[in-house]
Structure 1
């Protein structure tokens, strides 16, 4: 097996367009494009030597560029200055060789960009964070030629029927939702502006339901492909106070932080399943076989999702992610740039393996986990984490990399000497 490295020249990559204090959910979220968690690797000695490296290629990337990858396309969004204005240029190159595919001026202005493929299209969503909140724009391009198809306000998410959900507003402004045909941007349905908090229910094929929680009035579950209300119920606490909602698989959790109560409802009928009193919950995490609650006392509680009973509780772990009958958890502590991670038995909380301190990246929704850390002899060590086995397979040592890595699709982008960046294709 061989790998390829592309020298990208000088590049400044901005932060994730939607930074969040929480780790990514097991089912992932849109663009949330560039979503990154931290992880660790267990043992490296038995994995053998890394494969030989191919010739380094150079691509024209200017300072201030945004880099995106979709399959065999390497896409660069870079600023180009003109006497009267500044306009960004979009250029695509074929991987692994770096041959030019197409280029075009970008018709939208944004600070951060995310990308995902949909059929024969590339969907680009631009984010501009201002004093009034976040403005978003979605542009549809022909993947083969870069030809412009359509552009509309809002960020795009896939629906289970193949259409797109565009969401604009939110935060300090009312939210507007509409579903559009990706081929041409034709509106399939649209809802009036609302001040309700909106939570999607995501599946492997896309979003199938939307949960609306207005400041006053009943909670509604809507069909995401039609916008039609499927069920509604008043879930407000007895004192009429505000509460938060989180979607966890087939459950809807109502978090009443005033009384310290967590109530679970079935997502289909909003029927009450169980109540857990006397718990100050910051948020919930989907931990596979168990439901994890992160409490205000810095404890991680694992509940039986069917009954709400506590299976185990610990103050050692900060976050957790479910992997079948195992959990990947990080260890609470400070003083290091990377988190230390362990593997736990999901049902008992017993520690199965200590994975050390590394940075982790999820290659795809619910997919492979790749970790990096600086090699003691220089460069960056890259390995693939197997949570179920509690071990890691070494993929390579990037001798020319100095750190600051990130995953873009199935490629690893790391900074190199003299401000350069290099793109490494991860083995399949």
Structure 2
């Protein structure tokens, strides 16, 4: 911006014009400062947001876990893929704090964080007779602590429940102290299966469903039997599928097609009704969401079983706060989903959030959506079910996918397998 001095307008007929006031000292300096301030403001407005970015090395076939201020990478050995090396990075700086070799081999892996321990689970162990095996390492130091058969489930009191067997093998349960693997209680292996009731970060109740015999509700912390009952239909016949949803035990029968609901603590019968084929039942807050292959989604009143609403528009639905997030049934087979916000009591559509792929997120983490940007990289947005808004955060130029979100942080994989850590605004 330039300033042009046009001088002063004078009336030529004025016989005694007033003297011109002196020009203030420093005016050119002030004009230059104003010009610099304007240019700086325009430059700041046009500049892209500053990103705090950290690169974390990982292979394409690595298993990873974002756990608070740690990022855990389980890399395969290029010469022997059944062997793994675990490296832990401290966030947000990305410093490698420890590394260790996992002392078992296998083909399928997983990482769980429980009560100060990192558990590495081998689901297809190469050790004869071991089956699924979990190995515990100290979260802060990487020191080896213990290993035991079974896959881990975190309990509400901080105990680790190890479940072994399944499919054609008897199922065994063992609750252990995470610090040292000391067994607190265990049950003998039985045929059948177990379903769990989660509260916040862990499980507080278990429902043991044997092939024959009564169903048992157990306290997960102690293994004590809280309730026992024969839930088979009158006159005998198969029990059906048992699920635990929202402090209720659901028995879904196929012949005839029925759903019967019991209280979790005492197995007291609440209500029963006919149903078409049910693929799964979802916790939708004040209602039960029944997803059926031919009849779409039905929402039933928790207390009475009466249908509150139904729709064939939604591919899937899940509870998020006091709202429901749903995906349109006509969404393509890609990872992108057309996301909407629903009122759980009426099924009314409250907001349209657009097409997004949801980043993995833990309990209490924000809901983050990503999608490919036309110019490359990933567009990132925070999805707010309460306000019904998708708030754009950034475009990550070299991110490819496999994103994991936590409070204030987003990790996304690059095409070479490494990860980039982006600090997200509040």
Shift of 1:251: 0.9
Question: Residue deviations 1:208-259, cap 9 Å, x none?
Answer: 1110111211111111112121111111123412400111112111100221
For 2:362, what is the secondary structure of its paired residue? Answer: coil
Partner of 2:218: 222
Distance 1:266 1:178, change over 3 A: same
Q: Paired residue for 2:253, among 241, 251, 256?
A: 256
Distance 1:345 1:409, change over 3 A: closer
Distance 1:188 1:72, change over 3 A: same
Distance 1:281 1:50, change over 3 A: farther
Q: Is 1:368 the counterpart of 2:366 in the alignment?
A: yes
Q: Is 1:407 the counterpart of 2:404 in the alignment?
A: yes
Moved more, 231-240 or 268-277: 231-240
Q: Paired residue for 1:354, among 348, 352, 355?
A: 352
For 2:412, what is the secondary structure of its paired residue? Answer: strand
Question: Residue deviations 1:379-420, cap 9 Å, x none?
Answer: 21111111111102222110122x333316565443435665
Distance 1:415 1:165, change over 3 A: closer
Structure 2, unpaired ranges of 5+ = 1-45
Partner of 1:188: 184
Shift of 1:52: 1.2
Partner of 2:314: 317
Q: Measure the CA separation in 1 of the matches of 2:116 and 2:413.
A: 32
Partner of 1:294: 291
Q: Measure the CA separation in 2 of the matches of 1:325 and 1:313.
A: 19
Question: Residue deviations 1:322-346, cap 9 Å, x none?
Answer: 2344221111015351221211121
Partner of 2:305: 308
Q: Is 1:271 the counterpart of 2:264 in the alignment?
A: no
Q: Measure the CA separation in 1 of the matches of 2:55 and 2:367.
A: 28
Distance 1:375 1:129, change over 3 A: farther
Partner of 1:24: none
Q: Is 1:390 the counterpart of 2:388 in the alignment?
A: yes
Q: Measure the CA separation in 1 of the matches of 2:81 and 2:415.
A: 32
Shift of 1:193: 0.5
TM-score, normalisation: structure 1: 0.80
**Higher RCO, Cα 8 Å, sep 6+:** 1
Retained in 2: the 8 A contact 1:362–1:368? no
Structure 1, unpaired ranges of 5+ = 1-47
User: In the TM superposition, what are the counterparts of 1:6-405 in structure 2 within 5 Å?
Assistant: 51-54=49-52, 57-62=54-59, 64-80=61-77, 87-128=83-124, 135-238=131-234, 239-337=236-334, 338-401=336-399, 403-405=400-402
- Select the structure of larger CA radius of gyration: 2
Shift of 1:422: 3.0
Q: Measure the CA separation in 1 of the matches of 2:125 and 2:272.
A: 38
Shift of 1:270: 0.7
Shift of 1:427: 4.2
Q: Measure the CA separation in 2 of the matches of 1:257 and 1:416.
A: 46
Retained in 2: the 8 A contact 1:260–1:278? yes
Distance 1:93 1:419, change over 3 A: closer
Shift of 1:291: 0.8
Q: Measure the CA separation in 1 of the matches of 2:230 and 2:214.
A: 4
Q: Measure the CA separation in 2 of the matches of 1:388 and 1:161.
A: 31
- Number of matched pairs: 377
